[in-house]
Amino acid sequence: MTSSVAVIGAGLIGTTTAWYLAERGFDVTVLDRREGPALETSYANGGLLTPSEADPWNAPGTLGRLLRWLGREDSPLLLRPAALPGMLRWGIDFLRASRPVPHRHSTEAILRLALYSIHALNELRHQLNLDYAALSNGTVKIFRDYRALEQSLELAEALRPLGLESHPLKPSAAAALEPLLSVIADQLAGAIHYPADQSGDAHLFTLEMAKHAATAGVKFRFNTSVQAIHADGAHIGGLITQQDEIHADIYVLAAGSYTPLLVRPLKLRLPIYPVKGYSVTIVPAQGYSLRVPVVDSEQKLVLTPLGDRLRIAGTAEFNGYDITLNTARSGSILRQAMAILPGLAGPVGQGGAISWTGLRPMTCDGPPVLGGTPYGNLFFNTGHGPLGWTLCAGSARIVADAIAGRTPDIDPGAYRFSRFMR
Ligand SMILES: Cc1cc2nc3c(=O)[nH]c(=O)nc-3n(C[C@H](O)[C@H](O)[C@H](O)COP(=O)(O)OP(=O)(O)OC[C@H]3O[C@@H](n4cnc5c(N)ncnc54)[C@H](O)[C@@H]3O)c2cc1C
């Protein structure tokens, strides 16, 4: 008999998981409180698929930067003092994972998953003929600071044996690769080109996947908020929504930043914190378009061409589940983008900028949480933090394989929930 699976969350992660589950013969229902797919964090993210960004954000030295920028509205990393009590335990685990050895292990685990994900996404794109403003021109990471450039070059070299291709560029070579950078070439210490990075619109991708999943038999129940998970011993018995109770053989939690809140009553402590970020989308003047997406990692800023639009995204704010759109923050990323591409001033001045904010579901140590839980029929696919688009296809495939009893293509050990149970 076909087993039934209820997937909670129709973002990038839940929708892609549902498709892979249907492909493996399951009877799948996806539940989401919103009116359609990808209307929360997967809606307007930076659009980058970047194995090159595998190192988690708790690199040694992050605490110092956080404290230096405490309360500064225009800083790339902002910790609101009022948020401190609610993030104490997660914060301690975050700092513990920032020691060099665990940080290095997390970086390698994320890179392995990211490379596998790019491979899985390429397969999906060709198999389903997906259209999501995809671009395979890599990314160029720019540096004004020589020390930051050195550190990134060292990391790139260390990750080369694991499959991360990179090319150091002098400022003039960066401007040759991406001509719009020539205006600021004299301000740059250098750049790095990562040719295997990709980009595309995560919202469009999720809509495409939802369409294909529905064709494969997946049922979507929107406007359905899961309010509680009912457990019967070590087994999940059902989901309580605002309308009814839903029963399935297997349950997958892909509710992004909200997953920890759903499992807290089950006595599962999932160390995921909602790290807020912003994006601004504009339509630049005709002809003024990036060929290669640009990453300014010192400012935590990305500039990504998505068809005829440009997506500017960045900043990290630790402020609990607050999703107020703070114009000081979105204005700040726009100004930083205009410092890189001064030609943007025109369309922005004409009021053509759409601002958005979302919550990155960030684990304390970096890698997402994939696979089984102490409840035999409950699975996680969550905690993808700043890399949910990059890690989506591979994570979905690993979780669908685990549920189907297949051996995953890559070792899933580093992504297990049990790593938090020691
Ligand atoms: C500013 C910004 C820029 C980013 N840039 C990039 C990038 O360039 N590259 C990259 O790889 N990643 C990027 N990310 C990260 C990426 O967007 C996320 O990791 C990813 O969207 C997470 O997907 P998800 O499906 O887990 O969560 P979501 O998209 O949030 O989906 C979770 C779904 O669960 C639903 N839900 C929650 N609770 C319930 C409930 N109780 N009942 C029913 N439904 C529920 C929600 O409605 C939502 O639809 C960025 C994030 C931000 C904020």
Chain centroid to CA 98: how far?
19
The 10s digit of each residue's pLDDT in 103-156 is 999 999 999 999 999 999 999 999 999 999 999 999 999 999 999 999 999 999
Does 190 reside within a domain? no
How far does residue 332's CA lie from ligand 1's centre (Å)?
23
The 10s digit of each residue's pLDDT in 322-371 is 999 998 889 989 999 999 999 887 766 555 799 999 999 999 999 999 99
The 10s digit of each residue's pLDDT in 284-312 is 988 889 999 999 988 889 999 999 999 99
Summary mean pLDDT of the chain: 94
Does 183 reside within a domain? no
The amino acid occupying position 118 is I
The 10s digit of each residue's pLDDT in 176-207 is 999 999 999 999 999 999 999 999 999 999 99
**Cβ neighbours of residue 204 under 8 Å, at least 6 residues apart?**
131, 132, 133
The amino acid occupying position 272 is I
Q: Which of 20, 33, 41, 207 to mutate to test the pocket of ligand 1 (most atoms within 8 A of CB)?
A: 41
* pLDDT-above-70 percentage for the chain: 98
Q: What is the per-residue pLDDT for 339?
A: 94
Query: What is the mean predicted confidence (pLDDT) over 212-230?
Result: 98
Spatial separation of the C-alpha atoms in residues 23 and 361, rounded to whole Å = 27
First to last CA, the chain: 37
Q: What is the per-residue pLDDT for 233?
A: 94
Spatial separation of the C-alpha atoms in residues 310 and 306, rounded to whole Å = 6
Pairing, β 27-31 against β 219-221 = parallel
Does 159 reside within a domain? no
Spatial separation of the C-alpha atoms in residues 306 and 142, rounded to whole Å = 20
Q: What is the per-residue pLDDT for 71?
A: 67
Query: What is the mean predicted confidence (pLDDT) over 80-92?
Result: 86
Q: Which of 139, 389, 395 to mutate to test the pocket of ligand 1 (most atoms within 8 A of CB)?
A: 389
Q: Which helix (H) or strand (E) holds 41?
A: none
Of 76, 295, 40, 354, nearest to 169 by C-alpha is 295
What is the CB neighbour count within 10 angstroms for residue 200?
A: 23
Q: What is the per-residue pLDDT for 1?
A: 77
Residues near ligand 1 with C-beta < 6 Å?
Answer: 8-14, 31-34, 38-42, 45-48, 225-226, 254-256, 258, 262, 277-279, 302, 313, 358, 360-361, 382, 384-390
Q: What is the per-residue pLDDT for 306?
A: 97
What is the Rg, in whole angstroms, of the alpha carbon atoms belonging to the chain? 21
Q: What is the per-residue pLDDT for 298?
A: 84
Q: What is the per-residue pLDDT for 347?
A: 64
Does 185 reside within a domain? no
Number of the ligand 1 atom closest to the C-alpha atom of 387 = 11
Number of the ligand 1 atom closest to the C-alpha atom of 381 = 26
The amino acid occupying position 92 is I
Does 325 reside within a domain? yes
Contact by Cβ (8 Å): 26, 2: yes
How far does residue 417's CA lie from ligand 1's centre (Å)?
19
How far does residue 53's CA lie from ligand 1's centre (Å)?
18
If you take atom 4 of ligand 1, which residue's CA is the nearest one? Answer: 45
Number of the ligand 1 atom closest to the C-alpha atom of 34 = 47
- The range of the structural domain enclosing residue 414 comes to 4-138+196-420
Q: How many domains does the chain have?
A: 1
Residue whose entry in the numeric block shows the structure tokens 């070590």: 234
Pairing, β 27-31 against β 4-8 = parallel
Query: What is the mean predicted confidence (pLDDT) over 152-167?
Result: 97
Asked if pLDDT for residue 58 goes beyond 90, the answer is: no
* pLDDT-above-90 percentage for the chain: 84
Please give the sequence-ordered ranges of beta strands (E in DSSP) within 186-264, or none if there are none.
Answer: 190-194, 198-199, 219-221, 226-232, 235-241, 245-246, 250-253
Query: What is the mean predicted confidence (pLDDT) over 406-418?
Result: 97
Does 361 reside within a domain? yes
Q: What is the per-residue pLDDT for 207?
A: 98
How far does residue 386's CA lie from ligand 1's centre (Å)?
9
Q: What is the per-residue pLDDT for 81?
A: 79
How far does residue 212's CA lie from ligand 1's centre (Å)?
20
Q: What is the per-residue pLDDT for 407?
A: 97
Does 156 reside within a domain? no
- pLDDT-derived band at 262 (thresholds 50, 70, 90) equals very high
Residue whose entry in the numeric block shows the structure tokens 């040759």: 176
Does 387 reside within a domain? yes
If you take atom 39 of ligand 1, which residue's CA is the nearest one? Answer: 255
Q: What is the per-residue pLDDT for 80?
A: 82
How far does residue 182's CA lie from ligand 1's centre (Å)?
34
Per the model's pLDDT, the better-predicted residue between 331 and 394 turns out to be 394
CATH code of residue 245: 3.50.50.60
pTM for this one? 0.97
